[in-house]
Amino acid sequence: MAKSTSRKPRPSRKKDAEVTPVLPQPSSPSLLRWFFRPGTLMLTAAIASVWILAPVIVRQLPKLDARPEYRVSPGQITINPPPRWIPPDLVAQVFERAEFGDSESLLDETLSERIAAAFYTHPWIENVRTVRKSFPAHLTVELVYREPVAMVKGVDGYYPIDRNGILLPPADFSIADIERYPVIERVASVPMGKLGEPWGDPVVEGAAQLAAVLNKQEGDQPSWWKQLEVKSILVPRRVALADSADSLEYQLETVGGSHILWGRAPNTRHPGELTVEQKLQRLAEFHSDLGFDDEHGPYEIDIRPWHGIGRGRLAKEESDGRQQL
């Protein structure tokens, strides 16, 4: 009979490895030795000295923005050559209006922006293109100047305006300057804004557009209003609040008292209106052939019809009324 045999598990030859906790080791003295080296101590002392003494040193340094070569006054600002109607003290006016001090620091990061804003708000300036800094203290400013195109006749004097109807400083003009520009008459309104702002009346705005056209020159030729011997622009006598600017019609008065029925303002989009070029051509040809004034006048000359120009004697009430204005 076969004997059953069974094997007992043999005991493991290796005992389970015991887990030994990692104990903190005593600090190495090498770090302390490194720190207390002469070179390390000197570097640490230098850093601490700079940290402590830096504010004191900075306070002792000279302030550059107080030095003359860093101060910008009106005399250190150059603008592109202005036309004759711009006042010679424009830069000084800008400083005064902006309430700047006697001078400003070239090192001020906001200086260019503040100078540009100060010029832009002056009534004679239409736009500021660039402001450039340079050393020693100097600014170069490139400007777009406003140009007067007409004088609005008011009850208390004459008001200069540009092509957009912007009110310009009357104090910068003499009585003799009035003759340099067409006069806009019959204006019933007064300026709604300040100097450098729109007049605020569509009648004046349209008249300003027409004055800008008459002030244009072709080459060496005189301006249109001088060639055609026009002295004033007559605005509509009565304007209802409901009337649109595009419905307003203007007249020109010649030096001899004749009235030219011009029609709507140059910027009109009315489909039945002649173009500005067509009107100017008609006026030039008529003035060359017949003239606007003679001993039988004054006349009413209508250049608006498409079929041609009409001319008749100016109504007596128009002529008499004109003399009373």
DSSP for 275-301 reads PHHHHHHHHHHHHHHT-S--TT--EEE
- Confidence at residue 11, expressed as pLDDT on a 0 to 100 scale: 53
pLDDT band at 78 (very low <50, low <70, confident <90, very high): very high
The yes-or-no verdict on residue 300 having pLDDT over 60 is yes
- Confidence at residue 204, expressed as pLDDT on a 0 to 100 scale: 95
What average pLDDT score do residues 142-154 get?
Answer: 98
E strand or H helix at 134, and its extent? strand 125-134
List phi, psi (to 5°) of 192.
Answer: -90, -20
pLDDT band at 52 (very low <50, low <70, confident <90, very high): confident
Nearest to 115 by CA among 165, 86, 147, 76: 76
What average pLDDT score do residues 122-146 get?
Answer: 97
- The CA distance from 238 to 17, in Å, is 114
pLDDT tens digits for range 155-199: 899 999 999 999 999 999 999 999 999 999 999 999 999 999 999
| DSSP E strand boundaries for 204-295 | 230-234, 249-254, 259-264
Lowest mean pLDDT: which of 28-37, 102-111, 286-295, 300-309? 28-37
pLDDT band at 227 (very low <50, low <70, confident <90, very high): very high
Q: Packing angle between helix 111-120 and helix 90-97, nearest 10 degrees?
A: 110
- Confidence at residue 18, expressed as pLDDT on a 0 to 100 scale: 55
In this structure, are residues 248 and 202 in contact, taking their beta carbons and an 8 Å threshold?
Answer: yes
pLDDT tens digits for range 189-205: 999 999 999 999 999 99
The yes-or-no verdict on residue 68 having pLDDT over 50 is yes
Domains of the chain: which residue ranges? 66-145, 150-324
DSSP H helix total and E strand total for the chain: 8, 13
pLDDT band at 27 (very low <50, low <70, confident <90, very high): low
What average pLDDT score do residues 234-242 get?
Answer: 75
pTM, two decimal places:
0.77
The yes-or-no verdict on residue 154 having pLDDT over 60 is yes
Lowest mean pLDDT: which of 40-54, 244-258, 289-303? 40-54
For residues 6-43, b (16+ Cβ closer than 10 Å) or e, as one string?
A: eeeeeeeeeeeeeeeeeeeeeeeeeeeeeeeeeeeeee
What average pLDDT score do residues 59-64 get?
Answer: 58
Residue position matching structure tokens 């009315």: 270
In this structure, are residues 175 and 157 in contact, taking their beta carbons and an 8 Å threshold?
Answer: no
Average pLDDT, the chain: 86
What average pLDDT score do residues 216-228 get?
Answer: 92
pLDDT band at 241 (very low <50, low <70, confident <90, very high): low
**144 or 219, which is more confident?**
144
Question: Hey, CA dihedral for 290, 292, 296, 300, is it positive or negative?
Answer: positive
Residue 311, SS3 per DSSP: strand
Domain 66-145 has CATH 3.10.129.10: no
Structure tokens at 72: 């910008």
Catalogue the long-range contacts made by 131-136 (C-beta closer than 8 Å, 24 or more residues apart).
133/106, 135/69, 135/70, 135/106, 136/69, 136/70
pLDDT band at 324 (very low <50, low <70, confident <90, very high): very low
- Confidence at residue 322, expressed as pLDDT on a 0 to 100 scale: 43
The yes-or-no verdict on residue 303 having pLDDT over 90 is yes
- Confidence at residue 32, expressed as pLDDT on a 0 to 100 scale: 62
**Ordered alpha helix ranges (H), 105-201:** 111-120
